[in-house]
Structure 1
Amino acid sequence: MRELYDDLSGVTYRVCLRMLGTPEDAEEALQDTFVRLADRADVYEPSRGTVKTFVLTIAHHLCLERLRTRRARPQRQQEWEDDRAFDVPAPTARDSLDEALVQSALAGLPDTDRALLEAMFFGGYTHAEITTRTGLPLGTVKSRLRRALLKLRERMLP
């Protein structure tokens, strides 16, 4: 578990921070991710994806739960000092390469498709919420997201 944490905590933290917006929430989600991973390691199937994908999927789902809870019960925003030190692993060269690959693939998508993907994955919005926000029909939102994911996959595979 320690090696797995050392390898994946940096990228997992950045995904959580991007989705949740505050270092405190991201740190809690990171911790919850690895706790859940320890509890659910037996359900990992190598044929369905890499360990990294498994860990990031857990983190993504935990962040979505937090975002939905936050929307259901709005909380008072607190101001945090910027100079707080966090014990977060520095990005590795591999993380930077992965991030550059994702950014490049996203940049190649039409603006509307990229906005829909970001709203769903990083904003935590459901298809129905995206429909409400954009005014697009639900079927259109679903088909555009599916098409955008397929294009993203094409661009990211060697």
Structure 2
Amino acid sequence: MITDIDSVLLVKVARGDREAFARIYDTWSGRIFSLICSIVVDRAQSEEVLQEVFLEVWQRSGAFDPAKGSARAYLVTLARRRAIDRVRASQAARDRDAAQPVEREFDETLAEVEERIVAQDVRTALAKIGEPHKSTVELAFLTGYTHAQIADLQQVPLGTVKSRIRDGLAKMKSILEGER
């Protein structure tokens, strides 16, 4: 028996229920759009990706299996995949358009390399902090959710969310300082 209302709605969407689709869209479109924007950055492209995600929900929600995961996980996974695909496609197009190499000053190149190293260090530290800190920090800083929204999503008290974020950031700081 399915207990999650969003899972019930997705099962109904798979049967062609337009009202269930509208409820899923109304409930999740804002959060999914925030996630997509954090990955794609460009607002116009993010809007297109959001449309693609919900078109896929309408057309392929039969692939959703409540026994394998929550509706939230299904929607977030669809959105992440579509957003990452869009970023990759945009990058490939830029790479193709860059017929002639652009000469850069040494300092610009060095700055880009340093940014990439720092970003990789942060991703590594985030992976090392473990759950539930990792997912909570990701929701707070990568999706732009408020602490209250995260508490609602994770079904935990607001104070727990704040503690997880604080403790997760402290762990990341310790990991990052240990690597230097």
What's the CA shift string for 1:91-134, capped at 9, x where partnerless? 899635349849817525425989xxxxxxxxxxxxxxxxxxxx
Of 24, 30, 40 in structure 2, the residue corresponding to residue 4 of structure 1 is 24
Once the two structures are TM-superposed, the CA of residue 19 in structure 1 deviates from its matched residue by 0.3
**Other-structure match for 2:69:** 49
Give the superposition deviation at 1:40: 0.9
So what's the TM-score if we normalise by structure 2? 0.47
Change over 3 Å in CA distance of 1:112–1:59 after alignment to 2:
farther
Provide the residue aligned with 1:95 in structure 2. 149
Q: Which residue of 2 aligns with 1:123?
A: none
- Count of aligned pairs between the two proteins: 100
Cα drift, residue 39 of structure 1 = 1.1
Q: How has the CA–CA distance of structure 1 residues 109 and 57 changed in structure 2, closer, same or farther, with 3 Å as cutoff?
A: farther
Q: Which structure has the larger Rg?
A: 2
For 2:78, which of 47, 50, 58 is the aligned residue?
58
Give the corresponding residue for 2:45. 25
Shift of 1:14: 0.3
Shift of 1:7: 0.7
SS at match of 1:67: helix
- Structure 1 stretches of at least 4 aligned residues deviating more than 2 Å after TM superposition: 91-103, 105-109, 111-114
1:66–1:111 Cα change, 3 Å:
farther
Indicate whether 1:107 and 2:169 are aligned: yes
Gaps of 5+ in 2: 1-20, 98-144
Gaps of 5+ in 1: 77-90, 115-158
Alignment correspondent of 1:14: 34
The answer as to whether partners of 1:11 and 1:95 remain within 8 angstroms in 2 is: no
Give the AA of the match of 1:2.
A
Superposition RMSD in Å? 3.3
Q: Using a 3 Å threshold, how does the CA distance of structure 1 residues 42 and 62 change in structure 2: closer, same or farther?
A: same
Bigger helix fraction: 2
Q: 1:125-136 alignment to 2 at 5 Å?
A: none
For residue 60 of structure 2, what is the aligned residue in structure 1? 40
Q: Which has the higher contact order (CA 8 A, sep 6+)?
A: 1
Cα deviation digits, residues 131-155 of structure 1 (max 9, x gap): xxxxxxxxxxxxxxxxxxxxxxxxx
